[in-house]
Amino acid sequence: MGLQGVLSGHQIDVLTTEYLVLLTPSVIGSFSVLVVSIARWRQLREQVHLLVQLASADLLAALTLMSTSVLNKVNSDKGVTICQYLLPLSLTFYFISFLLVVAYAWKSKSLIQGWRECPTGEEAAQSQCRKKIVTFPVYAIVWMVPLLLYCAYVLTPFITLANLVTAAHSTSNKISTPNSSDYCTSCILFLHVWRDSCSDAEELHDMFIRASVFLIVISVLFSCSVIYHNIGKWYETRNHEGIFPVEGDGRSRKRTRRVFSTARNMVMVIFFCWTPALFLILLSGLMYWTSIEQRSLFFLYVIQSASVSLHGFLNSMVYAWRRPNFTEAVLGENTPLVAQDHLAFFDESLRSSSC
């Protein structure tokens, strides 16, 4: 396809401004969780390792994506080349965040089931067992695999050949669309569609990006949903067997509702933030075979840019600031009674005293 029906320069400017505005809460939220987690390292105990990594990945993703929007405002020819590397890099950090979310869910499952299966008198053995659930090599793999894939991506020939057309190049090729230069030199996530005449190898570029995003997001959603569903089934089975004590004041039931509400919100963050992107990927792929024009998808672009931009902010709320045990640990309000309760990983490990 040519450049007929693509987003106009004004629409691209609206998306750029939206990214700059909505990425700011994600930067603030992720940075605050990172700073507080490091400052209160001892109080946060075991979970701080995952919180610091998750906040770091979200912060790097938001900052990288924000820098591409700044380049759009500057509108320099050099920024076009830089964007070819920055946009995939921002997605790489989001992929790392996804993998950390899966590691978080798996550790939650291991801990909520593990402490009930071990003898109550072997606290030292339980503590040692917990440290082995997610070890340093796993964290290294979570970071290294996406970064290695990114390096392989940028070092392959098709990315170096995919030089976006500048305004002068567009004129020399007599592309008559008025906004051709604005479109081809813009740096917006999922903006360029297959064979849009803006590069020599855009088809390979877009197929790789879209296929990677689609497969990874679907896999993460499915994995986390299965893990947290298994946690719920395990708890209900043990509850029917009478393993959990009955508390007349309803504290146990309230705590259980909070645990599963937190787990549901963790899955919903990914669903809310990346479902519009998945729809956009599917519809933009159909543009090659149908008469759908990109400008007709502008409203979906607006929704997608808003949802992706808020990814880091919502993660900081769900994994940190909206959880009472995080704020209690940060403020030093944990009591010995609460510290002795055995909860799920996302409600147990943020405590000031060890098991």
Contact indicator for 34, 66 with CB cutoff of 8 Å: no
pLDDT grade for 308, boundaries at 50, 70 and 90: very high
What is the length of the chain? 355
pLDDT digits (tens, 9 = 90+) for 134-151: 467 888 899 999 999 898
Kindly tell me the sign of the dihedral angle through the C-alpha atoms of 85, 90, 94, 99.
positive
The alpha carbon of 277 is separated from its chain's Cα centroid by a whole number of angstroms, namely 12
Q: What does the pLDDT read at residue 210? A: 82
pLDDT for position 98: 92
Task: Please say whether the beta carbons of 331 and 104 come within 8 A.
Answer: no
Domains of the chain plus CATH, in order, are 9-348 (1.20.1070.10)
pLDDT tens per residue across span 221-251: 888 888 877 777 766 666 655 555 544 445 5
Contact 224, 102 (CB under 8 A): yes
pLDDT tens string 77-97: 655 678 888 888 999 999 999
More confidently predicted of 117 and 274: 274
**Predicted confidence band of residue 305 (pLDDT cuts 50, 70, 90):** very high
pLDDT at 340: 41
DSSP letter (8 states) at residue 318: I
Query: Computed from CA positions of residues 169, 171, 176, 180, in that sequence, does the dihedral angle turn out positive or negative?
Result: positive
Q: Could you give the CA distance from residue 100 to residue 97 in angstroms, rounded to a whole number?
A: 5
Q: Residue 139 has what pLDDT?
A: 87
Tell me the average pLDDT across 48-58. 90
Say yes or no to pLDDT of 170 above 50.
no
Widest CA span in the chain: 80
What are the b/e assignments for 135-163, b being 16+ CB within 10 Å?
eeeebeebbeebeeebeebeeeebbeebe
Cα 278 from Cα 213, distance rounded (Å):
8
DSSP state string for 83-117:
HHHHHHHHHHHHHHHHHHHHHHHHHHHHHHHHHHH
Percent of the chain with pLDDT over 90: 26
> Burial, 292: exposed, middle or buried (Cβ in 10 Å; 0-12, 13-18, 19+)?
middle
**Alpha-carbon distance values, 128 to 124, 135, 141, 160, 231 (Å):** 6, 12, 22, 48, 22
Residue 166 has pLDDT above 60, yes or no: no
Cα distance between residue 131 and residue 51, in whole Å? 16
State how far the alpha carbon of 310 is from the alpha carbons of 16, 22, 29, 84, 302, in Å: 15, 6, 10, 23, 13
pLDDT band at 167 (very low <50, low <70, confident <90, very high): very low
State the number of CA atoms in the 13 A half-sphere of 83 facing the CB: 28
